[in-house]
Structure 1
Amino acid sequence: MTAPHTGGCRCGAVRFEASAEPHHVSYCHCGDCRRASGAPVSAFVGFLTDQVAFTGKALKMYENGPVTRSFCGICGSPIAYVDERLEDHIYFTLGAMDMPAYFKPTHHAHVREQLPFLHMPDDLPRHLKTSAPRPSSSNPDGTQS
């Protein structure tokens, strides 16, 4: 399969299309993604934001620190997230993609937060923290955190 890649919410009020191949497909085991999705693990498909177009008028946003998650304001389906530390990137939930089977995750992120009863017996690389490195921020005194 080649681009464009499409997806949307359950009710169809939010649709999106990516005009290129993804740069990132991964599982995330962090608690924030668990709470946002309601699932024990999430999977995301990452694109550059200038490769994505949205249609519909129901897209809503929720900001939590540097992360903004989007969802459908009608049916509540989670759609994507952006992280201000990852400029020009957007990560769609795998479940929002029209052809989710096409996007096979290539690694696991935040495995130190993986639920102990969740067993995923694959040979994919596992990262204790993020799989998409974020630049560290400067403290007021100019040091890096």
Structure 2
Amino acid sequence: MAVQQQNLHRGGCRCGAIRFEATADPIYASYCHCGDCRRASGAPVAAFVGFHAADVTFEGASAATYGVAPVNRSFCGTCGAPIAYTDERLSDRIFFMLGAMDAPENYPPRVHGYVREQLPFFHVDDGLPRMETMTVPRPSGENQ
């Protein structure tokens, strides 16, 4: 009997110094319109794909990090490309920038988050649910 190979989800930074791989399917994909994600991505909206952290491995250089608790963002110290963010309240998950994935077209977002901070001139009319704040509930029930 042939062994079925798991889906591999790969990505990395712009220069290739950091590579990552997830061995299980994503658990989340969204847009975020919050000001912090805009500043971190340099774009009018950020898009993320999330995985269970236990399913993810990294190769190459270690990512540089910054952030204010509970959110920590990672990026390549060589090329500056944003890689991912983690949230202490969801320590079992990692959320990769959609643009860091090798095949971003495979991870269509399913929801818009923080639409209360959405830029007034930027609107994607895709019929997806639109949340005023975060799209992933935190264990403490925080909704900010």
Q: What is the match of residue 127 of structure 2? A: 123
Contact conserved, 2:63 with 2:77, CA < 8 A, in 1? Answer: yes
Q: What is the match of residue 36 of structure 2? A: 32
Q: What is the match of residue 99 of structure 1? A: 103
Which residue type is aligned with residue 123 of structure 2? Answer: H
Of the candidates 71, 77, 81, which is equivalent to residue 75 of structure 2?
Answer: 71
- SS at 1:3's partner residue? coil
Contact conserved, 1:94 with 1:103, CA < 8 A, in 2? Answer: yes
Q: What is the match of residue 3 of structure 2? A: none
Contact conserved, 1:5 with 1:18, CA < 8 A, in 2? Answer: yes
- TM-score, normalised relative to structure 2: 0.91
Contact conserved, 1:9 with 1:72, CA < 8 A, in 2? Answer: yes
For these two proteins, the number of residue pairs brought into alignment is: 137
Q: What is the match of residue 58 of structure 2? A: 54
Which whole-Å deviations, capped at 9, do the CAs of 1:46-65 have from their partners, x for residues lacking one? 00000000001241111212
Deviant stretches of 4+, over 3 Å:
none
Q: What is the match of residue 85 of structure 2? A: 81
Q: In structure 2, list runs of 5 or more residues that go unmatched.
A: 1-5
Cα distance in 1 for partners of 2:129, 2:77 equals: 35
Shift of 1:66: 0.5
Shift of 1:137: 7.6
- TM-score, normalised relative to structure 1: 0.91
Contact conserved, 1:58 with 1:74, CA < 8 A, in 2? Answer: no
Q: What is the match of residue 112 of structure 1? A: 116
Contact conserved, 2:33 with 2:114, CA < 8 A, in 1? Answer: yes
Which residue type is aligned with residue 138 of structure 2? Answer: R
Cα distance in 2 for partners of 1:30, 1:96 equals: 19
Contact conserved, 2:69 with 2:88, CA < 8 A, in 1? Answer: no
- SS at 2:51's partner residue? strand
Q: 1:21 to 1:137 in 2, by over 3 A?
A: closer
What is the root-mean-square deviation in Å for CA atoms of aligned residues? Answer: 1.4
Cα distance in 2 for partners of 1:70, 1:76 equals: 9
Cα distance in 1 for partners of 2:141, 2:22 equals: 30
Q: In structure 1, list runs of 5 or more residues that go unmatched.
A: 139-145
